[in-house]
A and B are shown apart, each in its own frame.
Chain A
Amino acid sequence: MSDITLSDVGMMFDIGHRKITALRGIDAVLPSGSFTALIGPSGCGKSTLLRLIADVLAPTSGEIRIGDHAPDAARKRHEIGFVFQDPTLLPWRSVVENIRLPVEVAGQPAARQPEELVELVGLKGFEQARPAQLSGGMQQRVAIARALALSPKVLLMDEPFGALDEITRQKMNIELLNIWRETGTTAVLVTHSISEAVFMADRVLVLSANPGQVADRIDIDLPRPRALDLMQDPAFHAHENAVRAALFSGERTAA
């Protein structure tokens, strides 16, 4: 199983001669196959937390486990898929070559054929296109397909749709949910949109800033599969309000 377990995780940065506490005492269990959203004001360390799970940064205190492994072991076993805010595609590679990149690096047979992933993210016909020929939304689809190329146990996403317009964003959200359900991966999504967090996740972790701490944890028990009309549901609004309240109480304690 690949639960993500965070126990008393803390992160301090040395900036010049000052130490800055970015995260303190983060405790959470993200069950295998679940979808978690991280939300909080800017500066709360939500992107940092995602990078701790991905072993891009190492926590200065506490422990993180992905299934039975430490993050660096999971990373070296190619069990982590990461989607950045920018598509970060290699401009000299075609769509299909970009998706195949993790397979080449891992040197193991592809868990899913890149051509199949192209179809999954709805880019059939664009296999040989270069990233510069695609729109922002299409580029981000390639980035998601790339993150899925080795069927990772965890899929980490750092505001992947932050740069997209609202309409594209909602379409992408629904597609992402379909992909997630099909792959069964443990998903973590960093977002600054309350409705996106509620629409996507099983649970929302609300972080507060200075230092980054878990202010609240809100379970979203809305039925799946979810469609756009869910957003008109009173239950949806109730959850949104709960998240908003948690965000603002966090603001107040920070101020």
Chain B
Amino acid sequence: MTAGLRSALPPALVLLGLALLMEAAKAAGLLPITVPAPTQVLAVIPAQFADLVYHGAATLRSALLGYLCAGLVAGALASVALRFHGAERPIISFGLLVDCFPLIALAPIFVIWLGQGMLLHVTLSAIASFFPLLLGTVKGFRATDASTRQLFHVMAATPMQRLRLLSVPAALPYIFQAMKIAAPLALLGALIAEWIGAERGLGAMMIYALFSFNVPVVWLTILTVCGLSALAYGLIALVESRVITWEVRGDAGGTDG
């Protein structure tokens, strides 16, 4: 924990320094009207707080539901891919294809099919966060090496024992990594859905502020989204650090491989 704090110190200082620099630059009149001083953003928080909570709750709900749906679908597809050898490549290719679809292009079609309500937000959020979860799960359950599998064979382990004692613990680091990558994407999916048209949600609040040229509120909503995403990432990382207490060999680094 203290080691984590120590490594977090330099970037935190950089962020703080950047904020101070912006404040000074703003005071010196060096920044355009579209870039507010950090204190200007802070100043609007009290007036906007109720709105932030109201809209933030909607975004968070859509993102959370989408994330869960993505997790369920990814888990189901991953088990098919792992159970049937020939299915792995088509399923991964399908996931990759979905991942590089421009979400915004599909959005108007989904609007027609699902309407503009929460279903749309949840769906786009699920699509946005789906692929890392799929890839992480499949990679994780494939992460055991040949001699460890032979060891379990020689020990005459049952399939259930294999799963419990070998496959699941071996997959966990990969799954956590995927969960960390997918969480901000789920939020982004919900946000994009709200940009397309919603009455409630941080995306809606952002667009409204953008079109009424309320600069500090635009910045505030964006910072809120980034904060929520960092919070989600941090929470998952915290659980991960409690669960994965051993040294993970190589990098279970999900999509950066």
| Residue B156 interfacial (CB < 8 Å) | yes
Within 8 A of A (CB), among B207-223: none
In the complex, which residues of chain B have a beta carbon less than 8 angstroms from the beta carbon of A106? 155-156
A14 to B156 alpha-carbon distance, docked (Å): 25
Within 8 A of B (CB), among A66-118: 75-76, 78, 80, 82, 84-86, 88, 90-92, 101-102, 104-106
A92 to B155 alpha-carbon distance, docked (Å): 18
In the complex, which residues of chain A have a beta carbon less than 8 angstroms from the beta carbon of B36? none
**Which B residue sits closest to A75, measured CB to CB?**
B156
Within 8 A of A (CB), among B136-155: 145, 147-148, 150-155
**Which B residue sits closest to A86, measured CB to CB?**
B147
In the complex, which residues of chain B have a beta carbon less than 8 angstroms from the beta carbon of A130? 246-247
Q: Which of the residues A84, A86, A90 comes within 8 Å of B166, measured between beta carbons?
A: A90
A82 touches B166 (CB 8 A): no
**Which B residue sits closest to A81, measured CB to CB?**
B154
B155 touches A105 (CB 8 A): yes
Q: In the complex where A75-B156, A102-B155, A106-B155 touch, is A92 in contact with B150 (Cβ < 8 A)?
A: no
A78 touches B155 (CB 8 A): yes
| Residue B169 interfacial (CB < 8 Å) | yes
A130 to B169 alpha-carbon distance, docked (Å): 15
| Residue A197 interfacial (CB < 8 Å) | no
In the complex, which residues of chain B have a beta carbon less than 8 angstroms from the beta carbon of A244? none
In the complex, which residues of chain B have a beta carbon less than 8 angstroms from the beta carbon of A76? 156
A106 to B152 alpha-carbon distance, docked (Å): 11
Q: In the complex where A130-B246, A132-B247 touch, is A88 in contact with B156 (Cβ < 8 A)?
A: no
B148 touches A88 (CB 8 A): yes
Task: With both chains docked as a complex, state the minimum distance between the C-beta of B158 and any C-beta of chain A, in angstroms.
Answer: 8
Binds B, one of A30-38, A50-58, A184-192, A215-223: A50-58
Q: Which of the residues B154, B166, B249 comes within 8 Å of A56, measured between beta carbons?
A: B154
Task: With both chains docked as a complex, state the minimum distance between the C-beta of B102 and any C-beta of chain A, in angstroms.
Answer: 40
| Residue B34 interfacial (CB < 8 Å) | no
B155 touches A88 (CB 8 A): no
Q: In the complex where A91-B247, A91-B249, A92-B169 touch, is A105 in contact with B157 (Cβ < 8 A)?
A: yes
In the complex, which residues of chain A have a beta carbon less than 8 angstroms from the beta carbon of B246? 91-92, 130, 132
In the complex, which residues of chain A have a beta carbon less than 8 angstroms from the beta carbon of B154? 54-56, 75, 80, 82
Within 8 A of A (CB), among B162-209: 165-166, 169
Q: Which of the residues B150, B165, B245, B249 comes within 8 Å of A51, measured between beta carbons?
A: B150
A253 to B116 alpha-carbon distance, docked (Å): 79
**Which A residue sits closest to B158, measured CB to CB?**
A105
| Residue B248 interfacial (CB < 8 Å) | yes
Could you tell me which B residues sit within 8 Å of A by CB distance?
145, 147-148, 150-157, 161, 165-166, 169, 244-249
If A84-B151, A88-B147, A132-B247 are given as contacts, then 6 extra A-B residue pairs at C-beta distance below 8 Å, sorted by A number, are A75-B153, A82-B150, A82-B154, A91-B247, A91-B248, A105-B152
CB pairs A–B below 8 angstroms (28 shown): A54-B154, A55-B153, A56-B154, A75-B153, A75-B156, A78-B155, A78-B156, A82-B150, A82-B154, A86-B145, A86-B147, A88-B145, A88-B147, A90-B148, A91-B247, A91-B248, A92-B244, A92-B245, A92-B246, A104-B161, A104-B165, A105-B155, A105-B157, A105-B161, A105-B165, A130-B247, A132-B246, A132-B249
